[in-house]
Amino acid sequence: MPITELLERNAAQYPNDVALVEINPKIQETKRVTWKEYELIQSTEKESYRREITWSVFDEKANRFANYLMSMGIKRGHKVGIIMMNCLEWLPIYFGVLKTGAMVVPFNFRYSSDEIMYCAKLSQIDILVFGPEFIGRIEEICDELSKKRLLIYVGDNCPTFAEDYKEAVANCSSVKPDVKITDDDEAAIYFSSGTTGFPKAILHKHRSLMHSAACEQNHHGQQRDDVFLLIPPLYHTGAKMHWFGSLLSASKAVLLKGTSPDIILDAISKEKCTIVWLLVPWAQDILEAIESGRVNLKDYELDQWRLMHIGAQPVPRSLIKKWKEIFPNHQYDTNYGLSESIGPGCVHLGVENIHKVGCIGKAGYGWETAIVGEDRKPVKRGEVGELAVKGPGVMECYYHDPKSTKEVLADGWLYTGDMAMEDEDGFIMLVDRKKDVIISGGENIYPVQIEDFIRTNDAVHDVAVIGIPDKRLGEVSCAIIELKKDYVVTEEEMNEFCMALPRYKRPHRIIFADIPRNPTGKIEKPKLRELYGGKGLVEAQNLG
């Protein structure tokens, strides 16, 4: 059945139960926050600190927006874009689009005006819904953007070039639209993260969305009394598909607009959250805040917190070891997925396999995996190859891009571009992105292996290893290292630390600098290559 029926079921069976809570900690006094924050979620919201809606209100809001869209001629085959920060309106708008039979197209909130225009043309959207944070960016392109598209604004003080969302839906019916939706209908277009170039438009059908919900609940066992803390951006498949487990179990979710350790722990404590999905930087920040004494766990009620899981990037073993020392009763899971495989879950570690931390796990619920060579035939266990996945959540195609589709899809298999290997027990270990592998003097060097080692140094907050040009070897490894606050380490000391690595894995260059990450926590290596791949390296060394 389509994912919209889960919302309608919850509204019928649990109409007065809270479905979503929005917390905006930026309104609170935050002077005691002195460490670096990863501002991946930002907001101009200045109304109430905490808002909530029930399942019945959630469904009614979705119906009102669907009926408004249909009055504007939106139907099956049309596409509605969303570029908004996480807020209480986000998911009702998303489901409102789906209820019309049209496709929903979430946009990355970091897109510039040019990128918004590029993705609007690529996905051929008919309507763009945007929030107050994007007025400036939309205004820059509104003349071109509005030629063939309706612009809808969600927030106070609607700009003159857009329709006001509140006024538009105020008098619309809250009755479910009379539209039949099937699992075979096209549901959503998501954009690739763009860490390797311009984003691609990824087309999914309703069956993909529904399978992600079943997969998530199978892995993490959401029940009616669970409370999920959702921090990452909803435009991305990861956050939304993890939330689909809450949708399937009709359990509450908390949308948190803040990423500092005390804000996260305060929300877990006050909202009695049981499941928290973190990105690596946030988990690192929490551990550092606890270890430094900036956060005291006695200030929070955390006994109900049963599961912490991480995805979107390789997870250092050292991080989880420290986490379990501080939170010994937590279950832990690693999730692996791509937007092309409807987000998280095509591979996962499993809470029962914490002894295998460092691996991404085995095939997830309803999925198959294979490790293949350049000929796309399976390699021997223990050999490095490309990870391929197959299952109900594989995308239909890259929208209007048959060439790119053919490069990654064949016979139902999605070739991920990630290099991996299976250990003796069949657990998959991610080695690196295929495009990130460093070939130095004919030797393949996998940056993730070096990064994992460097992260074991107590002074290291974050690290990224890239290849830089070398006349003799073609390219050599360069480690960009971000130190923890108040730590001082010299290049000579870090080189000495790396002597424990095999000679060919030792970084040839070390640079101390900040590590840029995108909103889903992935290291932006193209940006680092641009900064340090040639001239930038010389400049960085001169500055150092």
Helices and strands, counts by H and E, the chain: 16, 27
Question: Locate tokens 């309608």: which residue?
Answer: 8
Query: Minimum mean pLDDT among 175-179, 490-494, 519-523: which range?
Result: 519-523
Residue type, 40: L
pLDDT of residue 470: 78
Q: DSSP assignment, residue 359?
A: B
Pairing of strands 127-130, 150-153: parallel
Question: Locate tokens 């570690």: which residue?
Answer: 349
Tokens representing residue 25 in the block: 């900690």
Q: DSSP assignment, residue 126?
A: S
485 against 181, higher pLDDT: 181
| Residue 390 CB-half CA count within 13 A | 9
Give the pLDDT band of residue 32 (cuts 50, 70, 90).
very low
pLDDT of residue 312: 62
Cα(397)–Cα(420) distance, rounded to whole angstroms? 24
Give the pLDDT band of residue 539 (cuts 50, 70, 90).
very low
Is a pLDDT exceeding 50 seen at residue 37?
no
Render 136-160 in DSSP notation, one character per residue. HHHHHHHHHHTTS-EEEE-SSS--T
pLDDT of residue 415: 96
pLDDT of residue 463: 92
Is a pLDDT exceeding 50 seen at residue 447?
yes
Taking the CA atoms of the chain, what radius of gyration do you get in angstroms? 23
The answer to whether residues 217 and 249 touch, using CB atoms and an 8 Å cutoff, is yes
- 250's torsion region: left (phi>0), alpha (psi -120 to 50) or beta? left
Tell me the H-state helices in 297-422.
317-326, 402-408
257 against 100, higher pLDDT: 100
pLDDT of residue 442: 58
Kindly tell me the burial class for residue 380, based on how many C-beta atoms sit within 10 Å of its own C-beta (0-12, 13-18, 19 or more).
Answer: exposed
**Percent of the chain predicted with pLDDT > 70:** 90
Cα(496)–Cα(249) distance, rounded to whole angstroms? 51
Count the Cβ atoms, other than its own, within 10 Å of residue 40.
20
Tokens representing residue 365 in the block: 């619920």
Assign domain 437-543 to its CATH architecture.
2-Layer Sandwich (3.30)
Closest CA to 91 of 226, 267, 254: 254
Closest CA to 256 of 450, 501, 20: 20
pLDDT of residue 543: 35
pLDDT of residue 139: 95
pLDDT of residue 525: 81
Query: Minimum mean pLDDT among 307-316, 348-357, 529-538: which range?
Result: 529-538
Q: What is the pLDDT of residues 313-341, one digit of tens each?
A: 667 788 899 999 999 999 999 998 889 99
Is a pLDDT exceeding 70 seen at residue 483?
yes
- Confirm whether pTM is higher than 0.85: no
Give the pLDDT band of residue 39 (cuts 50, 70, 90).
very low
Render 157-205 in DSSP notation, one character per residue. S--TTSEEHHHHHHTS--SPP-----TTSEEEEEE---TTSS--EEEEE
- Tell me the CA distances in angstroms from 488 to 35, 62, 64, 376, 484, one per residue in order: 16, 53, 57, 46, 9
Return mean pLDDT, the chain: 88
Is a pLDDT exceeding 70 seen at residue 31?
no
Q: What 3-state DSSP class applies to 209?
A: helix
Q: What is the pLDDT of residues 406-426, one digit of tens each?
A: 999 999 999 998 889 999 999
Is a pLDDT exceeding 60 seen at residue 536?
no
The enclosing H or E element of 247 equals helix 237-249
Query: Minimum mean pLDDT among 108-112, 169-173, 384-388: which range?
Result: 108-112
pLDDT of residue 417: 87
Is a pLDDT exceeding 70 seen at residue 148?
yes
Is a pLDDT exceeding 80 seen at residue 41?
no
Is a pLDDT exceeding 80 seen at residue 363?
yes
Cα(529)–Cα(536) distance, rounded to whole angstroms? 9
pLDDT of residue 371: 96
Q: What is the pLDDT of residues 168-197, one digit of tens each?
A: 999 999 999 999 999 999 999 999 865 445
